[in-house]
Amino acid sequence: MCIFPFPHFPRKLSFTCHYAMSLLKRRKIRAFTVLFCIVTFTMFLFSYTLHDPSLYFFKYPFRLPDSFFSKGQCGCQQCMTELDDDPWFTERFNLSVHPLLTRRNSLLTDDTYRWWQWLQAEQQPANFSEVVEKLFQVIPDADLYMDAGPERCRTCAVVGNSGNLKGTRYGTLIDSNDVIIRMNQAPTSGYEEDVGSRTTHHVMYPESAIDLDNTTSLLLIPFKTLDLQWIISALTTGSIQHTYIPVQSRIKANRDRVLIYSPTFFKYVYDTWLENHGRYPSTGFLSLLFAIHICDTVSVYGFGSDHYGNWHHYWEENNMGGAFRHTGVHDGDYEYNITLLLADKHKIKMFKGR
Ligand SMILES: *[C@@H]1O[C@H](CO)[C@@H](O)[C@H](O)[C@H]1NC(C)=O
Ligand SMILES: *[C@@H]1O[C@H](CO)[C@@H](O)[C@H](O)[C@H]1NC(C)=O
Ligand SMILES: *[C@@H]1O[C@H](CO)[C@@H](O)[C@H](O)[C@H]1NC(C)=O
Ligand SMILES: *[C@@H]1O[C@H](CO)[C@@H](O)[C@H](O)[C@H]1NC(C)=O
């Protein structure tokens, strides 16, 4: 209130008085606001440095950690999803399609089931939902890795089997990742210097299976209902010895770490990322897309041909050039193009080898 003692004073002045009073009030508020901001900021800095045992801010007052002003959505410097993401990528990348089969997502649409059964034209498949039920009595039913967020920085290496790994000495670099994905027959023993020695996930199907150590997750890509029956059998009774070719009847693997590639995700990779090129995606491409969905950064090793243009495995002598690119089922050129495009858009880092 502004009590003005001179009633004959021009109204204008009275108005000015009102204005001055309110300005004074506002100033108080402003002063308070500024004080409040200073206190909050100080407290924030304090709690921030307390969180960080290295007292980061005091040690490096002009350098904040990657996650602090990260424009992405994870704790790494570069994240799989960024705020200013490329439209080509965002049109395709769909985090709500989960890569691993669980009881919850095991009910396939008719479309997906029909496509998936068509892959290897299985005759008289067993009842899918009954097999899935038996499967999850043997292996854990867990929806893993779907924990993307500002706190997470999961670094992954996808290690293909190309001969271009020979002589690269990538081993230490590969082993420094949180997740290391290898596939099919890939050995590490004897090749550690170039390919590393750790494997957290080994991707395979019954016809390409090998024994694993206790710490590695077996990631099975099923192409038919029989493949799910095979993994149950291979971890228990060993009764299935044949699919369309003879297969290992038992497998050494930690059954608490066995994971199943979801047929729904499989079809999503084929439809969305390959736009139906080839008959179905290769193990390498399926592994890459798995990594892209569960990791924050993805490094790719051992994809593509070697520097002579030859396609062969790093553990084999190079005497069958071209044998792996044109198998008739995979469109290797198209897959490789998409892989290069992902690298162009900084979604993956390609280590091209020699
Ligand atoms: C992502 O996948 C979910 C689940 O399959 C689907 O409902 C949704 O439409 C997809 N989103 C896009 C943008 O394609
Ligand atoms: C598969 O088994 C489930 C449960 O036993 C049953 O409800 C379903 O009808 C069966 N499906 C087919 C195609 O036979
Ligand atoms: C493998 O790991 C499981 C637990 O995940 C354990 O029960 C089992 O004894 C281990 N086996 C070997 C051979 O170390
Ligand atoms: C790969 O990309 C190149 C250039 O972008 C294009 O010319 C070529 O046709 C593509 N190959 C396939 C198989 O799509």
Residues 103-128: tens digit of each pLDDT = 999 999 999 999 999 999 999 999 99
- 333 in contact with ligand 4, CB cutoff 6 A: yes
Confidence at residue 52, expressed as pLDDT on a 0 to 100 scale: 41
Catalytic residue among 280, 293, 301, 312: 280
* DSSP-derived 3-state class of residue 63: coil
For the segment 263-288, what is each residue's pLDDT rounded down to a tens digit?
Answer: 999 999 999 999 999 999 999 999 99
**Residue 261 a catalytic site member:** no
Q: How far does the centroid of ligand 4 lie from the alpha carbon of residue 324, in Å?
A: 19
Ligand showing the shortest atom-to-Cα distance for residue 97 = 1
Q: What is the mean pLDDT of residues 10-28?
A: 49
- 326 in contact with ligand 4, CB cutoff 6 A: no
> Quick count: other Cβ atoms within 10 Å of Cβ 203?
23
Give the residue whose CA is nearest to atom 14 of ligand 1: 94
- 254 in contact with ligand 3, CB cutoff 6 A: yes
- 271 in contact with ligand 3, CB cutoff 6 A: no
Task: Give residue 22's pLDDT band: very low, low, confident or very high (50, 70, 90).
Answer: low
Radius of gyration of the chain (CA): 29
Least confidently predicted of 49-63, 213-227, 317-331, 339-353: 49-63
Burial of 343 (0-12, 13-18, 19+ CB in 10 A): middle
Contact 218, 212 (CB under 8 A): yes
**Residue 293 a catalytic site member:** no
